């Protein structure tokens, strides 16, 4: 999830009257952000070295990862979102949030040269990208532009996609995951902020991003607009070798968070390129998601899961979808579509900011509960029924978007 575009403030004009007062759930962004902020500040206070980036937690203590991990940008990003909210609402300690955000962002500086990871968008747009957006300091922008250069090294024209996993020199296997749609913002943003490819044989940044989006649209979507999680290609010819899952229930099932990466990623590409085919793809993927959604607006970790109960849900997927629905509501020219996605976003956000999905308990590391990193049949498994740092990150993004639209 990426950057909240400045234009989101126009939600107040576009969407304020789409639903009657009786239909709009009651959401209190001030309370929800304050709860998340308290948890973020508590973690920061216990890490004087500003090292060890939160990833997941079964209880009150985060499991941490180094700066090179794909999740490292979410905690700094959450700090930047909190700083943005603090500025907007004139919190007296807003400068403390700026200092926290900068300190945790600086720790990722060397990742701009990382060519082993396709998730530089998650890592550096969420940290340095927000930093530049909110401060205008060139030192942040320079890191983002270099990161875009590094990401292009994982692109192979014969495949037309950015390699997700594996070495950039592997000529036997070329694996791509649907999550990679979320990293295209790094390339698109850099292409409009003085970033160009330094390798004369490479395509420009925007062309690489659109190539990836175009081939993903062909290879990752089923006829019903559900998504495959993983597709393996022949790196020499670009031919598809197999389609499978790594985090869902089965190769032919729909991993719910993967579906939301697709909805969000194509909504972003629609906004960045003004290409209607991307908007249409995002809406189709969103329609599948909504058609299979339970009444509480929070999906199971896999849409084909037969497991019931909160412990098998993934509220982080719902938070990502919520952000995407706000964007789709703004991008569509059809008043009925605007209304449908605005309502879906607000109803989802309402569910995520109330019990049982939201808690200020000090016994839980995150505010957002019942998240799942992977589909798993055992609720005690570390990767399900857990806290995830990106859940709170996208929940903050949704809250800031809603708050801007209501002002």
Segment 229-276, tens digit of pLDDT: 999 999 999 999 999 999 999 999 999 999 999 999 999 999 999 999
What stretch of H or E contains 132? helix 130-135
Catalytic residue (choose from 44, 102, 179, 392):
179
Number of domain units in the chain? 1
Are 72 and 65 in contact by the 8 Å Cβ rule? The answer is yes
pLDDT of 14 reads 43
For residue 384, being part of any structural domain is answered with: yes
**What CATH number does residue 247 fall under?**
1.50.10.10
Half-sphere exposure of 342 (CA within 13 A, CB side): 26
For residue 1, being part of any structural domain is answered with: no
pLDDT of 23 reads 65
Work out the burial of residue 174: count CB atoms within 10 Å of its CB; fewer than 13 is exposed, 13-18 middle, 19 or more buried.
buried
* 50 phi-psi bin (left φ>0, alpha ψ -120 to 50, beta other): left
3-state secondary structure of 51: coil
For the chain, which residues score pLDDT lower than 70? 1-24, 195-203, 406-407
The neighbour count for residue 224, using CB atoms within 10 Å, is 11
CA 124, CA 113: separation in Å to the nearest integer? 11
Are 3 and 185 in contact by the 8 Å Cβ rule? The answer is yes
179 noted as active-site residue: yes
The neighbour count for residue 20, using CB atoms within 10 Å, is 7
For residue 70, being part of any structural domain is answered with: yes
Average confidence score pLDDT of the chain: 93
CA 387, CA 45: separation in Å to the nearest integer? 19
DSSP symbol at 9: G
pLDDT of 195 reads 61
Catalytic residue (choose from 30, 69, 102, 119):
119
199 noted as active-site residue: no
CA 266, CA 275: separation in Å to the nearest integer? 10
pLDDT of 285 reads 98
Going by C-alpha positions, the residue among 110, 106, 97 that lies closest to residue 44 is 97
What stretch of H or E contains 398? helix 389-406
- Which domain range does residue 213 map to? 6-406
């Amino acid at each position: 999830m990426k950057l909240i575009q400045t234009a989101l403030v126009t939600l107040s004009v576009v969407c304020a009257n789409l639903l009657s007062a009786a239909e709009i759930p009651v959401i209190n962004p001030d309370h929800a952000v304050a709860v998340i902020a308290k948890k973020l500040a508590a973690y920061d206070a216990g890490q004087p070295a500003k090292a060890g980036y939160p990833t997941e937690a079964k209880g009150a203590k985060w499991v941490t990862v180094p700066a090179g991990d794909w999740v490292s940008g979410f905690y700094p990003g959450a700090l930047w979102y909190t700083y943005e909210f603090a500025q907007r609402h004139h919190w007296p300690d807003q400068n403390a949030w700026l200092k926290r955000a900068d300190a945790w962002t600086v720790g990722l500086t060397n990742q701009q040269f990382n060519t082993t990871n396709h998730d530089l968008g998650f890592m550096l747009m969420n940290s340095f990208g927000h930093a530049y957006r909110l401060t205008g300091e060139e030192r942040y922008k320079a890191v983002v532009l270099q990161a875009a250069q590094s990401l292009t090294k994982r692109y192979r024209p014969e495949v037309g996609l950015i390699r997700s996993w594996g070495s950039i020199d592997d000529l036997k296997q070329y694996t791509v995951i649907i999550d990679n749609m979320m990293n295209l913002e790094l390339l698109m943003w850099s292409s409009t902020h003085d970033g160009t490819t330094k390798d004369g044989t490479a395509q420009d940044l925007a062309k690489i991003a659109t190539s990836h989006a175009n081939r993903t649209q062909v290879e990752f979507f089923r006829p019903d607009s559900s998504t495959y999680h993983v597709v393996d290609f022949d790196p020499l010819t670009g031919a598809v070798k197999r389609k499978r899952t790594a985090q869902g229930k089965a190769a032919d099932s729909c991993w719910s968070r993967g579906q939301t990466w697709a909805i969000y990623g194509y909504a972003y590409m629609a906004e960045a390129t003004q290409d209607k085919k991307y908007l249409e793809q995002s809406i189709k993927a969103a329609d599948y998601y909504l058609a299979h959604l339970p009444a509480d607006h929070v999906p199971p970790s896999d849409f084909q899961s037969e497991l019931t109960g909160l412990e098998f849900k993934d509220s982080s997927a719902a938070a990502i979808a919520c952000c995407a629905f706000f964007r789709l509501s703004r991008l569509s020219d059809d008043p009925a579509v605007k209304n449908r996605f605005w309502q879906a976003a607000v109803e989802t956000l309402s569910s995520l900011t109330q019990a049982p999905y939201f808690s200020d308990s000090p016994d839980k590391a995150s505010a957002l509960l019942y998240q799942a990193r992977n589909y798993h049949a055992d609720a005690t498994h570390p990767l399900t029924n857990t806290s995830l740092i990106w859940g709170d990150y996208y929940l903050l993004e949704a809250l800031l978007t809603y708050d801007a639209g209501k002002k």
